[in-house]
Amino acid sequence: MDYPKASDVEVHKYFESHPDHLEMMMTDWEESGDPDLEWESIHDFTEFVIVPNVGLIPTYWESELSDDARTPDWSSEIYDAFAFKIYKFLWFVIAEFTEYDERELKVFVANEFDKAVEEAENREQKNHQNFEDFYYEYNHQTFSNGKQFVQKLLITNVDTSRLDHIESRSAPGYPEAEDLYASLCQSDDGSIFVEVNNMGSISLMQVDSVDEAREIMSELWQ
């Protein structure tokens, strides 16, 4: 976390004015199996950083998150791509927001737990909508050839029961590449299709040539 480190003097002044926070931390040490720790050895145990609008917080909680040693007090995940977790620590709250491979940590004061959850829910809703729009828009999209994809079962003028898959392209960035991909296909009578496989749900677009099929595949998930 990119917060300035507190000096020894700042730490002592903080706990002189916040003795309840010191008591909370000492109790946390004892409960975690370090009953012999004394106030005088506090700097050997952890560092402190200064968080605006929150105050000083110890940094030892970071190892608990990285080791998955603590269960979040609130959490939600979407498609294995987004994870939102809220933890109550001592006199503060940590919000861990993971969006694809980007991880962000935010600190709130203890009485702002609901505010942290609200921000997580807003991010969740926005990311869910963006995810749906990006990956599943092909269901409603009109492509450069003026055509749309239709469900395989609705195609009755051509036998699509057996399609030869010539080449495929996975949806970029999708959590499980094998769950969403497009393929250039050819039927027994030589008809050319672009197929989108969404976890076994098949949509097809019949095209006039292999080049047209490749063009449509390149327009997917842009």
Helices within the chain (DSSP H only): 8-17, 19-31, 42-45, 61-66, 113-136, 210-219
| Range ranked top by mean pLDDT from 60-64, 151-155, 179-183, 210-214 | 210-214
In a shared domain, residues 148 and 121: no
Distance CA 126, CA 81 (A): 13
**Which phi and psi angles does 88 have, rounded to 5°?**
-95, 120
Radius of gyration of the chain (CA): 27
Q: Is the dihedral of CA 198, 199, 203, 209 positive or negative?
A: positive
CA quadruple 4, 7, 13, 19: dihedral positive or negative? positive
Confidence (pLDDT) at 122: 94
Q: For 19-57, how does the pLDDT look when each residue is reduced to its tens digit (9 = 90+)?
A: 999 889 888 877 776 656 666 666 667 889 999 999 999
Structurally, the chain folds into a number of domains equal to: 3
Q: Is 182 found in the same domain as 134?
A: no
Asked if residue 65 is part of any domain, the answer here is no
Residues 129 and 149 in one domain: no
160/134 same-domain check: no
* Residue 101 reports pLDDT greater than 80: no
Its domain, for residue 19, covers 1-59
Q: Tell me how far CA of residue 140 lies from CA of 93, 150, 194, in angstroms.
A: 42, 9, 15
Q: Give the end of a domain, one of 59, 82, 97.
A: 59
**Of the ranges 59-63, 147-151, 169-173, the best mean pLDDT one:** 147-151
Residues in the chain: 222
DSSP assignment of 41-60? GHHHH--EEEETTTEEEEST
Residue 4, Cβ neighbours under 10 Å: how many? 10
Q: Which residue has the tokens 């709130």?
A: 108
Instruction: Report the side by side order of strands in the sheet with 102-109.
Output: 74-78, 82-89, 92-99, 102-109
Pairing of strands 92-99, 82-89: antiparallel
Indicate whether 159 and 209 sit together in one domain.
Answer: yes
- Predicted local confidence at residue 221, as pLDDT: 92
Q: Which of 134, 68, 130, 67 is nearest to 99 (CA)?
A: 130
Task: Judge if 125 and 91 occupy the same domain.
Answer: yes
pTM: 0.71
Instruction: Give the single-character DSSP code of 117.
Output: H
Could you give the angle at the alpha carbon of 134 between the alpha carbons of 100 and 200, nearest 5°? 90
Q: What is the pLDDT of residues 206-218, one digit of tens each?
A: 999 999 999 999 9
Helices (H), 91-209: 113-136
